[in-house]
Amino acid sequence: MNNTLSTLTWLFSGLMFALCISIPDGYRIGAGGLLLLSLSLFFLKPKWSMLNKDDRLLFWVFVVFVISIYGAALSDWIRFDSVVKKTLDRFSLFIFVLPVMVLLLNVSGRKEWLWYGVVIGAMSGFSLALYERLVLGLGRARGSENAILFGNISMLLGFLSLTAAAYFFYQKRFFWLVLALSGGVCGIGGSVLSGSRGGWVAAPLVIFFLLWVFRNLLGKKLLSKLILFLLLIISIIVLVPQTGVQARIGQAVSNITHYADNTAKETSVGLRFDMWKAAVYMFQQNPIIGFGESQVKKNKQNLADIGSVSHKIVRFHHAHNEFLDAASKRGLIGLFFILVLYLVPLKLFMNKIRQNECDWKIKFYAVAGALVPMSYIGFGFTNVMFTQKIGVIMYAFSIVLFWVAVKNAENEALS
């Protein structure tokens, strides 16, 4: 029974990555399967003693974050509209992942299936992006999500696939090494085809991190060749007009110029600047607890009526910046908890990287785990990833899955 449960648990874990952007609501299949399997905890009598202080810290980070969201919603209780309800519904998913964490800690691991999942997910997502761009003729690939979320999740899968490539290089499994490298290119390519510039902000930092952390594994000669290859790929992506990157960068520069000289403010970048401006204003007016979800639209409308921002930003429910959005809606308290949600898991994974400097069997999973908050922080400068369930699920479940994979690898090293 336990062997079957273990197999199903890690199968659904891999499926979450494999299907997350290639089929409509594909992420729900893996995450939903894990939630259903977590019901077996009622019969397994889980060993709670297996949770050490770091496990409990991660556990409580999620719990306290959700409590902070519900606390902020109290100010909206009288105006309990659809926006507030949807917000609470989304963020509750951080609680639902916790029994999955306990389940994973109590079953033996086939954690390697996570690598297969991210590679398949990156490649299948890129295939869909190509179909949408070349066959359907869409200007931006989007899958079943909006183009920004599709592109950012694709970029994350690309980063994780590059980590998988390092894993298979270490294992000398060259077939999967080639597939994982292809997955890395496909994940980044899916982001390119989506035209989501926010994901490109995270790319330089993450790629530098990967090159740095794997420098000893690759060796100076191979590392130099890899850097030259990456520069070549980046040059091709930027210079070839068909990718759309050159046009999107040029459009951004033009938008910024027009916004600065006040000749055209209602461009893509100009509207984003106005959203940031409105968020800063709301934060300044109520810096401790913010204005809440239900009052954002009203405040933006007031700013638009006096000509401070464009009327076109009123319809947007968020500020297109994770940190400004939290500050405007939930004040310093909300900003603090969103930073905790990102920085505590990042610190835990970075600690594991340092503690297992020479043990690559553990270190690969720790690197992958660190990439998740690192990427989300980068994405958060130009978007709010938690506006849709896919953003919440891919963050919460990815953190838990790679954390448990690290724990399993540590246990195997001791046995």
Residues 285, 387 within the same domain: no
Q: What is the pLDDT of residue 200?
A: 79
Range with the largest mean pLDDT of 247-251, 312-316, 340-344:
340-344
Residues 344, 384 within the same domain: yes
Helix/strand/coil (H, E, C) string of the chain?
Answer: CHHHHHHHHHHHHHHHHHHCCCCCCCHHHHHHHHHHHHHHHHHHCCCHHHCCHHHHHHHHHHHHHHHHHHHHHHHHCCCCCHHHHHHHHHHCHHHHHHHHHHHHHCCCCCCCHHHHHHHHHHHHHHHHHHHHHHHCCCCCCCCCCCHHHHHHHHHHHHHHHHHHHHHHHHHCCHHHHHHHHHHHHHHHHHHHHHCCHHHHHHHHHHHHHHHHHCHHHHHHHHHHHHHHHHHHHHHHHHHCHHHCHHHHHHHHHHHHHHHHCCCCCCCHHHHHHHHHHHHHHHHHHCCCCCCCHHHHHHHHHHHHHCCCCCHHHCCCCCCCCHHHHHHHHHHHHHHHHHHHHHHHHHHHHHHHHHHCCCCHHHHHHHHHHHHHHHHHHHHHCCCCHHHCHHHHHHHHHHHHHHHHHHHHHHHHHHC
Residues 182, 87 within the same domain: yes
Q: Is 64 exposed, middle or buried (0-12, 13-18, 19+ CB in 10 A)?
A: middle
Range of the domain at 178: 2-44+73-245+322-414
Residues 284, 220 within the same domain: no
Is residue 297 in some structural domain? Answer: yes
Is residue 117 in some structural domain? Answer: yes
Task: For CA atoms 404, 360, 153, 336, give the dihedral sign.
Answer: positive
Is residue 161 in some structural domain? Answer: yes
Q: Is the pLDDT of residue 274 over 70?
A: yes
Average pLDDT of the residues in 352-381: 95
Instruction: Give the distance between the most distant pair of CA atoms in the chain.
Output: 68
Residues 303 and 297 sit within 8 Å (Cβ to Cβ): no
Q: Measure Cα distances from 71 to 91, 284, 341 in Å.
A: 12, 20, 16
The domain tally of the chain equals 2
> Where among 288, 313, 338 does a domain terminate?
313
Q: Out of 244-248, 268-272, 297-301, which region has the weakest mean confidence (pLDDT)? A: 244-248
Is residue 176 in some structural domain? Answer: yes
> Where among 283, 313, 343 does a domain terminate?
313
Average pLDDT of the residues in 118-132: 96
Residues 306, 336 within the same domain: no
Q: What is the pLDDT of residue 228?
A: 86
Residues 288, 336 within the same domain: no
Q: Look up the pTM and report it.
A: 0.92
Q: What is the pLDDT of residue 223?
A: 86
Average pLDDT of the residues in 325-340: 94
pLDDT digits (tens, 9 = 90+) for 179-198: 999 999 999 999 989 988 77
Residues 332 and 292 sit within 8 Å (Cβ to Cβ): no
Is residue 37 in some structural domain? Answer: yes
Q: What is the pLDDT of residue 146?
A: 87
Q: What is the pLDDT of residue 373?
A: 97
Task: For CA atoms 118, 124, 127, 133, give the dihedral sign.
Answer: negative
Residues 83, 204 within the same domain: yes
pLDDT digits (tens, 9 = 90+) for 139-149: 888 887 889 99
Residues 33 and 8 sit within 8 Å (Cβ to Cβ): yes
Residues 153, 178 within the same domain: yes
pLDDT band at 1 (very low <50, low <70, confident <90, very high): very low
Helix crossing, 389-414 with 27-37: angle to 10°? 60
Residues 255, 348 within the same domain: no
> Where among 262, 291, 313 does a domain terminate?
313
pLDDT digits (tens, 9 = 90+) for 211-237: 999 998 988 888 888 888 877 877 777
pLDDT band at 201 (very low <50, low <70, confident <90, very high): confident
